C-alpha cells in the first residue's frame, strides 16, 4: 500500500551538510545568536514536521505571487518573485534567502514584500522583530525605501500586513549582530544564550534544536 506520508518525507528530505563559515543569512540574524552558532558548529538534521512547515511557507509565498500578478488585481505590478542578494562585509558575506520575498510596484512606488505564514493571523499584533530586521537588511542593500511584511494564515489564507520604511539605525544594529556572530564562529567561542537572558525571547528556547546542549552547559557557560 502507498504510504503518502513517507513519500512526502522522502521528497522533502535534505542531507545535513556543514555550513560555510563566513556566510550568513538575513533570515536568521534576528534569532538567538547562540542558536545560529550551533547551526554552524553542530549541524543537525531538521525534523520532518519542521521541514513541512517551511514547505508550506514556500507554497503560500507562491500563492501570494500568483495573486499579485493576476489580471484580476490591476494596479499592482509584480517585478520579481525571487530577489537575488549577496553582499560582502569585511571578511564575511551576507547572502539572502529570497524564497519569501516579492518585489512589486504600486502607485509608481517599488515595495519589497516579505511573506510569512502563520498559524493564527489574529496573533500578529505587530511584526516580529526578527522579520523586521531581515527586511531592513534587504531594503538597505537593495537600496529601497519601502517594504511590507504580510502574514498569511495557513488554514484560512486570511492576511494581516504591516508597512515598513527603511531605517538605517536598525540596519546598523543588524550588521553589528552579523559581526558578533562571525567573530564567535571564527574563534569557536560560544555566544551568550540570548533567548534565555532576554525578555521576550524566551519562547525561542522551546523551538530550538540545540536546547539540550545549551541548557546542559556549566552555569558559567550556559548562564
Domain range enclosing 72: 21-222
Length of the chain: 223
Helix ranges, the chain (H): 4-12, 33-41, 48-69, 129-141, 168-187, 194-197, 211-215, 219-222
pLDDT tens across 48-74, in order? Answer: 888 888 888 889 989 999 998 888 988
Residue 36 has pLDDT above 90, yes or no: yes
pLDDT tens across 68-112, in order? Answer: 888 898 888 888 887 778 899 989 999 876 555 777 887 888 999
Domain membership of residue 8 (yes or no) is no
Domain count across the chain = 1
Domain membership of residue 12 (yes or no) is no
What's the CATH code of the domain at 139?
3.90.320.10
Domain membership of residue 64 (yes or no) is yes
Domain membership of residue 6 (yes or no) is no
Q: Rounded to an integer, what is the distance from CA 136 to the centroid of its chain? A: 12
Confidence label for 38 from pLDDT (cuts 50, 70 and 90): very high
* Top-confidence residue, 97 or 19: 19
State the cell numbers at 32. Answer: 538567538
Domain membership of residue 169 (yes or no) is yes
pLDDT tens across 151-201, in order? Answer: 999 999 999 999 999 999 999 999 999 999 999 999 999 999 999 888 888
pLDDT at 218: 56
| Residues 3-11, mean pLDDT to the nearest whole number | 89
pLDDT tens across 113-134, in order? Answer: 999 999 899 988 999 999 999 9
Domain membership of residue 9 (yes or no) is no
| Distance of alpha carbon 138 from alpha carbon 26, whole angstroms | 8
User: What's the mean per-residue pLDDT of the chain?
Assistant: 88
Domain membership of residue 109 (yes or no) is yes
Residue 137 has pLDDT above 90, yes or no: yes
Give pTM, 2 decimals: 0.86
192-214: b or e for each residue (b if 16 or more CB lie within 10 Å)? Answer: bbbbbeeeebeebbeebbbbebb
Confidence label for 217 from pLDDT (cuts 50, 70 and 90): low
Domain membership of residue 148 (yes or no) is yes
Amino acid at each position: 500500500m502507498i504510504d503518502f506520508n513517507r513519500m512526502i518525507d522522502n521528497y522533502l528530505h535534505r542531507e545535513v551538510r556543514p555550513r560555510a563559515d563566513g556566510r550568513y543569512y538575513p533570515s536568521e540574524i534576528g534569532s538567538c545568536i547562540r542558536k545560529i552558532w550551533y547551526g554552524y558548529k553542530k549541524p543537525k538534521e531538521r525534523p520532518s514536521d519542521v521541514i513541512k512547515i517551511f514547505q508550506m511557507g514556500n507554497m503560500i509565498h507562491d500563492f501570494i505571487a500568483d495573486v499579485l500578478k493576476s489580471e484580476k488585481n490591476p494596479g499592482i505590478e509584480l517585478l520579481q518573485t525571487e530577489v537575488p542578494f549577496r553582499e560582502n562585509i569585511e571578511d564575511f558575506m551576507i547572502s539572502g534567502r529570497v524564497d519569501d520575498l516579492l518585489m512589486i510596484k504600486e502607485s509608481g512606488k517599488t515595495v519589497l514584500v516579505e511573506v510569512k505564514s502563520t498559524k493564527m493571523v489574529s496573533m500578529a499584533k505587530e511584526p516580529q522583530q526578527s522579520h523586521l530586521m531581515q527586511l531592513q537588511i534587504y531594503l538597505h542593500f537593495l537600496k529601497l525605501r519601502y517594504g511590507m511584511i504580510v502574514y498569511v494564515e495557513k488554514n484560512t489564507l486570511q492576511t494581516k500586513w504591516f508597512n515598513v520604511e527603511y531605517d538605517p539605525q536598525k540596519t546598523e544594529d543588524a550588521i553589528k549582530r552579523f559581526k558578533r556572530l562571525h567573530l564567535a564562529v571564527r574563534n569557536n567561542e560560544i555566544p551568550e544564550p540570548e533567548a534565555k537572558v532576554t525578555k521576550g525571547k524566551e519562547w525561542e528556547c522551546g523551538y530550538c534544536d540545540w536546547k539540550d546542549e545549551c541548557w546542559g552547559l556549566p552555569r558559567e557557560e550556559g548562564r
